[in-house]
Amino acid sequence: MQFRILYTAIAACVLALPYATLPAAAQGLEVSPAFRSEPPKKQSRQAQPQRKQAPAAAVPLVTATDTPAEKGPVLAETAPPVSQHETHPKKRPDYPPPNENCRNTVSFDVWRNEFKKKAAAAGVSRRSIALVDGFELNPQIISRDRRQAFFAQSFLDFQKKLATPNRVTSSKRKIAQHKETFDRAQKEFGVPPSVITGFWALESDFGAGMGKFPIMPALVTLAYDCRRSYMFTEELIAALQIIDRGDMTPAGMIGSWAGEIGQTQFLPTRYLDYAIDYDGDGRINLFDNDKDVIGSTANYMKNLGWRPDEPWVEEVRITRDLPWDQADLAIKLPRSQWAEWGITYPSGQRVPADNLQASLLLPMGRYGPAFLAYPNFDVYTQWNQSLNYATTAAYLSTRIDGASEMSRGRGNTNGLDFEGTKELQRQLVARGFDVGKVDGLAGAKTRAAVKEVQKKLGFPADSYATPELLSALRRGGAR
């Protein structure tokens, strides 16, 4: 995803990865399970149906700094019929990039009044709109959203913490437990069980760590904050529409600090568009119903463009002499070309010389692990735009399917740390390159700029920033 983003709550831990998503090292907030080596002890979150009541005379005040809720999700007993099968929603427009380094200049009260007009125009009921008056800003949420330092780890360090043997074992156990449902989902949507469980394990450890934070106050705070106001305004409206539809009550919307719902951490718009009632009991339950989680996740991935019966990533071995500037996710070549350049599987078997399109993915440069990334890998980067997260999730799925542990590479993979990457970004900006935000994270724009400056300096253009590259820039190179 776009901002893979990462799934957490208030607590006394630190975090920061794919902003869990948006997992990241934040202070005073609970660590998302996607950033734990082992899952926490699973707690029961049995959903209790609740009858709809007449509109209340007043909406009680709930603040984003209240104690995280302990109750499980409350699902409305009179929810309207929902789909048991594939949905085909109209694709929503892409969200604009975050407005980095912005300042909030409008008061919260003014913003709230304007938001209520937008919600009314979107068809949200007066009763649900009135809920917004009961929530206050939480500065911790804003601070957390603006710090995503966990993503600054190297890919090898990142995947070691997340693609754990325990998650491989737990995923295989879950597949065996729900074999019939996984088989049905693969037949209907084309998505393999290993792919579904790979995301499921990373996002919540199969429900053990969905977050205990009230979602509505978090969405209100993020919708007000200028950094991603457009995105979270849409998500807040979607959350109110979920309440209007009868799927959940505000008290039952418990999840991560970033407003994500359920065991595979759906944002509210994703829930509205892709969540389905896969067991046919008349309601959608992504908190406690494994069948609904499996079907909804597969439905979402098919809508993102998943191609049945095709791979997503495969580890490969590369030669020491390649046209390194072709190692780019934006460049897809037939496997026959990669085979001609001497790329093989770890066993030594040659890559098939066919026309299946693939990119060469080098998350740590030409000396680190190497993968062929196929069109299905694009689904991973749509799920979460962090390259570390997307590659880790894809690799984890291959491990669930029985692949061996990856190689650590064939040489020095030393890259830049958080501060070194920030300095590199400043050097690139001074030379006219667009790196997005100077944030210490080597995102797509930074990698593209690194590749261009490597070409100018005569370095192998593998898009991987190294201390040697930074030293050359400090000496005034490529101006």
Active site residues: 203
What whole-number distance in Å separates Cα of residue 433 and Cα of residue 436? Answer: 9
Residue 282 CA: distances (Å) to CA of 50, 246, 269: 14, 12, 20
Q: What secondary structure does DSSP assign to 382-412, as a single string?
A: HH---HHHHHHHHHHHHHHTTPPPPP--SS-
Q: How far apart are CA 285 and CA 246, in angstroms?
A: 12
Q: Are 438 and 426 in contact (CB under 8 A)?
A: yes
The per-type count for the chain, helices as H runs and strands as E runs, is 17, 10
Q: Please state, in angstroms and rounded to a whole number, the distance separating the CA atoms of residues 295 and 87.
A: 11
- Contact (CB, 8 A) for 162 and 6: no
Cβ neighbors of 155 (< 8 A, separation 6 or more) are: 363, 364, 368, 369, 387, 388, 391, 392
Q: For 227-238, give one letter per residue: b (16+ CB within 10 A) or e.
A: bbbebbbbbbbb
Cα separations in angstroms, 408 against 164, 361, 417, 458, 459:
15, 14, 18, 26, 22
Radius of gyration of the chain (CA): 23
- Report residue 135 as tokens: 């929530």
Number of Cβ within 10 Å of residue 203's Cβ equals 33
Pair 205, 170: CB distance under 8 Å:
yes
In whole angstroms, give the CA distance from residue 239 to residue 269: 8
Residue pair 240/272 in contact (Cβ under 8 Å)? The answer is: no
Q: Give the bridge partners for 52, in sequence order.
A: none
| Backbone angles phi and psi of 406, in degrees to 5 | -70, 155
- Identity of residue 329: L
| Distance of alpha carbon 233 from alpha carbon 257, whole angstroms | 15
Which residue is associated with the tokens 């990334």?
373
Q: Can you tell me the distance from the alpha carbon of 140 to that of 256, in angstroms, rounded to the nearest whole number?
A: 13
Give 320-379 as a 3 state SS string. CCCCHHHCCCCCCEEHHHHHHCCCECCCCCECCCCCCEEEEECCCCCCCCCEEECCCHHH
